[in-house]
């Protein structure tokens, strides 16, 4: 039994050593809500994030983006959000326009600026914008 566990552990460590998964984590202050995010590598052409809004009304949001401009120092992206706020029924759709600026030599850390119109229904649409920090584990 111990040999099987040891073999499985070594196999898992070996597989993890060869896999180069890149995960990003971020904290954003968008309008009146703070979001905590985890997602794929933001330097990919197509990327995604799962966001949780914190505070009195906890909500969830999936963000999918496409990098129109990709450089070492900056990415410009757009895409869509699909989310749900904790204090309301139903889902909302958003169209983000964002810039990720990576000013340091190590391109793991960046500053995010994002603006997004949010479409809930015909009477409660609004505009959201803000700043954040993002770190990519490579």
Q: Distance between CA atoms of 78 and 116, rounded to whole angstroms?
A: 9
In sequence order, what are the residues at sequence separation of 6 or more whose Cβ sits closer than 8 angstroms to the Cβ of residue 24?
A: 37, 38, 39, 40, 41, 42, 49, 134, 135, 136, 137
pTM of the model: 0.80
pLDDT at 22 over 60: yes
* Pairing label, strands 97-101, 59-70: unpaired
DSSP-derived letter for residue 6 is H
Q: Distance between CA atoms of 72 and 26, rounded to whole angstroms?
A: 19
Whether the CB-CB separation of 81 and 116 falls below 8 Å is answered with yes
Whether the CB-CB separation of 102 and 89 falls below 8 Å is answered with no
The tens digit of pLDDT for each residue in 69-83 reads 999 999 999 999 999
pLDDT at 9 over 50: no
């Amino acid at each position: 039994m111990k040999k099987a566990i040891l073999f499985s552990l070594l196999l898992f460590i070996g597989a993890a050593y060869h896999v180069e998964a890149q995960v990003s984590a971020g904290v954003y202050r968008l309008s009146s809500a703070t979001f905590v995010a985890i997602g794929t590598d933001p330097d990919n052409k197509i990327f995604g994030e799962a966001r949780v809004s914190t505070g009195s009304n906890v909500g969830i949001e999936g963000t999918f983006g496409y990098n129109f401009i990709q450089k070492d120092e900056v990415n410009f992206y757009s895409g869509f959000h699909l989310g749900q706020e904790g204090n309301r029924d139903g889902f909302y759709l958003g169209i983000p326009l964002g810039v990720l600026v990576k000013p340091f030599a190590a391109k793991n850390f960046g500053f995010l600026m994002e603006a997004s119109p949010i479409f809930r229904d015909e009477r409660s649409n609004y505009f959201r914008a803000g700043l954040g920090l993002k770190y990519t584990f490579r």
